Amino acid sequence: MSVREASFLGFGNPVDPRPDELQAWAYHPESVPLSTMPRDWDLLISGDVLGPTLFELAMDRQCPARRFAQHCMYIYGADGVRQNASGQRKRRLKKFVERAEEVGDEPMQIWAHNCRVLLTRPELFDHHDWMEGGLVRHPRRLGLFNRR
């Protein structure tokens, strides 16, 4: 039985979900609506442990929670370009960006482009766009020559 076919039985600890729990939820998000999750859940789960799971969900055109996963990947990307981001985070982000460029659809290619722009011009970081879902709700390619 695949994750898509399995029913979601809930999170053992919603503040620190396991990758398999997050994946099962993403294919049955109506079972536990986002509105019932802990405050700033998106920020809590957008780290290295769940990064690979979130990336796979964001890449899956059939995932019902795809937009949420894409939002989390914008958070992950913004965190990965900080000067004090871990080497692991920066390496993993680079691999995600390359994979999205190679096999991602338009929303994920835009995400990859925007991550590359932010790596080159970190001063273009906008909290609303990267941390609050602005670039998911209003997708657009950031330009290297944007002024802030």
Q: How far apart are CA 79 and CA 26, in angstroms?
A: 22
Domain count, the chain: 1
Q: Assess contact for 62 and 70: CB atoms under 8 A.
A: no
**DSSP per residue over 24-88, as a string?**
HHHTSGGGS-GGGSPTTHHHHH-STTTHHHHHHHHH-TT-TTHHHHHHHHHHHHHHHTSTT--HH
Residue-wise pLDDT tens digits, 47-73: 999 999 999 999 999 999 999 999 999
Select from 22, 102, 20 the least CA-distant residue to 68.
22
- Element (H or E) spanning 91, and its range? helix 87-103
Judge whether 8 lies within some domain. no
Q: How far apart are CA 99 and CA 14, in angstroms?
A: 29
Judge whether 92 lies within some domain. yes
Judge whether 13 lies within some domain. no
Whole domain around residue 44: which residue ranges? Answer: 19-137
- Give the pLDDT score at 1: 45
Q: How far apart are CA 63 and CA 41, in angstroms?
A: 19
Judge whether 148 lies within some domain. no
Which residues of the chain carry a pLDDT beneath 70?
1-6, 145-148
Q: How far apart are CA 6 and CA 79, in angstroms?
A: 32
Judge whether 12 lies within some domain. no
Judge whether 38 lies within some domain. yes
- Give the pLDDT score at 6: 63
Q: How far apart are CA 29 and CA 121, in angstroms?
A: 35
